[in-house]
Structure 1
Amino acid sequence: MTDAFAGTGASAVRDAPAYSVVVPTIGRPCLADCLRALAAAADHPPEEVVVVDDRPAPTGALPLEAAGVLRDRIRILRSGGRGPAAARNTGWHTVGTPWTVFLDDDVQVLPDWSRLLAEDLGAADADTGGVQGRLTVPLPEDRRPTDWERGTAGLEQAAWATADMAYRTDTLADVGGFDERFRRAFREDADLALRVQEAGWTLRRGRRCTRHPVRPADRWVSVRAQRGNADDALMNRLHGRDWWTRAEAPRGRLPRHVLVTAAALAASACALTGRHRAAGVAGALWTLGTAEFALARIGPGPRTRHEITTMLSTSVLIPPLAVGHWLHGRLRHRGAMPVGGRP
């Protein structure tokens, strides 16, 4: 990952290329904070803000009044609940500016964001297809972060996250935009970044910074997140098994989850066939693997009763669900081709 060289002073803002902002949303209350922060970053405002309403059946108005001075520059589009990749495509396809900046509806740009964005874009050479913003995740100062909070904080190190990512609009057209087979907010940005780089464009990290608060979540959020393993299977199919390295993505625990799940299945099979000694060995391996996983999640956390019981219960469920979603993804996407590839 390389850094974009920044310009300085008012001239960098004055000479910076025009850009549009695309914000996909499912109508969460945090959209108001996102628009309010964007309006407060007034040094180099966007030509327009395209808010893409991805609710399947929109009910109620979006909080557009929070956009303040940018209210007259907002356009609303609807993408029919097809996921963030499709919503972003719906937005950037209508953009007429040289650059398209994607923001998630749960982020808040800082007051100097548009000035630093102007420097980021103005410093981009002709081969630069995208410039990433830096994300900061505020964590509690009076206690250790929870498992969910630590997971969100991992976005600070994420490469090419579209929580704040600027792409040349021509670059998006060149590679066909986002792959809409990614229905969740997971891996669709890594897939796009890999295709952009494979097309010969360079991606750089800029200087602007965006705040990404930890959104509220219930105790089962980590269980639902295992659906992302199906997207990892699609990434394997599209980009090969080494995509983790090229996308600068953490490998995760799937190999360990496979072993733990295999031990559980072996223990059940051996018990049903009367092989009690083998069942005991396999059961012990499952117990050790599950305990290691739970302790790895409990140790760095606040260790409250709620957090401990949540980690224990979800650590039992996550390995088999992760493996199940991964196998489902491999089956579903066994014939998948990259965007623009021949079927």
Structure 2
Amino acid sequence: MSVTVVVPTLGRPSLRTLLGALAPGIARHGFELIVVDDRPAAVPPLEVDGTVLPGPARGPAAARNVGWRAAKHDWVAFLDDDVLPGPDWADRLLDDLAEAGERVGGVQGRLRVPLPGGRRPTDWERVTAGLADGAWITADMAYRRDALAGCGGFDERLPRAFREDADLAFRVRRDGWRLVRGRRQVTHPVRPESPWVSVRTQRGNADDALLRRVHGPRWRELLEVPPGRRPRHVTITAAGVAALALAATRRPGWATAAGLIWAAGTAEFAAARIAPGPRDPREVGTMLVTSAIIPAAATLHWLRGWWRWRAAQPVRTVPAEVDRR
């Protein structure tokens, strides 16, 4: 069985580690390797033992489409550039694909996220660890090219590594394919991030607005996305805006009441994030500050996405032309 491995990358140092771990298995089984260089300015060019294609610099969904459309094999295995496959990953991948029935369109690998010992994980570490329980995430996901072509591939309107894999999986299953979990495994280390990462990731709410538009009110259920806190965030934000507006119009009683609602909601949110963490001064301070910002950021990004995608239509399922080489 022949396989194409597609790795979209922004040129992070982890790419070298990944490719080094893949090399023996690729050589042993003759896999095709396609690295999609998605850096806005690809200088200097990547030098790898495989095919390097320029990406459109519009996010991982568009980069993966470049990769699978250029693939020459019937199975395409997507890997993120920050995972680390074990020495037997290629062998286990072939085992997973060999066991897949003819109506299986995709096989997911198992993801392990190592957490530090001796203390509770931080908020960011817990978010990363949640990937281990994610459904059909493309950190390690193999698809039949026919399944990808039939549904139109990844939705390139989703520019972040956020929901684009869940959206694809839904459309593949809607076309009648089955998705299953395999036994191969990769490790996903927790990469270092700034204290503001939780605020920055709120941009994904704009993508949620697109998914709500194209899949309808039941989009979370259809895409197997767990419920979020957006309704609470909207309430907290509305209370904060109301408190400021009422204070400006010199209605102190109502302003105080709205302010108390904002404070209570923010305190509950912060406590929910602090309780399972290490509770050291740095983490507690970060959680207090970001918990005050996140509700408004989430709400504003959702409204931005709602307006931008107010007339969005589902992805066309007419297969795009692909380069069989």
Place the TM-score, normalised by the shorter chain, in its bin. Answer: over 0.9
Distance 1:42 1:85, change over 3 A: closer
User: Following superposition of structure 1 onto structure 2, how do residues 191-340 of structure 1 map, counting pairs within 5 Å?
Assistant: 191-340=167-316
Q: Which of residues 4, 10, 30 in structure 1 aligns to 2:14?
A: 30
| Contact 2:137–2:165 (Cα < 8 Å) also in 1 | yes
User: What letter corresponds to residue 276 of structure 1 in structure 2?
Assistant: P
**Deviating 4+ runs (over 3 angstroms):** 40-46
Q: Deviations over 1:236-290 (max 9, x none)?
A: 1111121212222121111110110011011111111222111111101100110
Shift of 1:118: 0.9
Q: Which of residues 104, 109, 121 in structure 1 aligns to 2:97?
A: 121
User: What letter corresponds to residue 136 of structure 2 in structure 1?
Assistant: W
Distance 1:307 1:332, change over 3 A: same
Residue 81 of structure 2 corresponds to which residue in structure 1? 105
| Contact 1:20–1:46 (Cα < 8 Å) also in 2 | no
User: What letter corresponds to residue 108 of structure 1 in structure 2?
Assistant: L
User: What letter corresponds to residue 181 of structure 2 in structure 1?
Assistant: R
Residue 35 of structure 2 corresponds to which residue in structure 1? 51
The secondary structure found in structure 1 opposite 2:279 is coil
Percent of residue pairs bearing the same amino acid type: 57
Q: Gapped runs of 5+ residues in structure 1?
A: 1-16, 65-70
Shift of 1:307: 0.8
User: What letter corresponds to residue 241 of structure 2 in structure 1?
Assistant: L
Aligned pairs, how many?
318
User: What letter corresponds to residue 57 of structure 2 in structure 1?
Assistant: G
Distance 1:42 1:48, change over 3 A: closer
| Contact 2:208–2:302 (Cα < 8 Å) also in 1 | yes
Segment drifting more, 76-85 vs 224-233? 76-85
| Contact 1:159–1:247 (Cα < 8 Å) also in 2 | no
Alpha-carbon distance in structure 2 between the residues aligned to 1:128 and 1:218: 40
Alpha-carbon distance in structure 1 between the residues aligned to 2:122 and 2:60: 26
TM-score (norm 1): 0.90
Distance 1:320 1:158, change over 3 A: same
Residue 124 of structure 2 corresponds to which residue in structure 1? 148
| Contact 1:53–1:78 (Cα < 8 Å) also in 2 | yes
Alpha-carbon distance in structure 2 between the residues aligned to 1:156 and 1:240: 27
User: What letter corresponds to residue 53 of structure 1 in structure 2?
Assistant: D
Residue 323 of structure 2 corresponds to which residue in structure 1? none
Segment drifting more, 282-291 vs 41-50? 41-50
| Contact 1:43–1:114 (Cα < 8 Å) also in 2 | no
Alpha-carbon distance in structure 1 between the residues aligned to 2:56 and 2:153: 18
Shift of 1:41: 4.1
| Contact 1:135–1:156 (Cα < 8 Å) also in 2 | yes
| Contact 1:43–1:115 (Cα < 8 Å) also in 2 | no
Shift of 1:120: 0.8
Alpha-carbon distance in structure 1 between the residues aligned to 2:304 and 2:290: 20
Shift of 1:47: 2.0
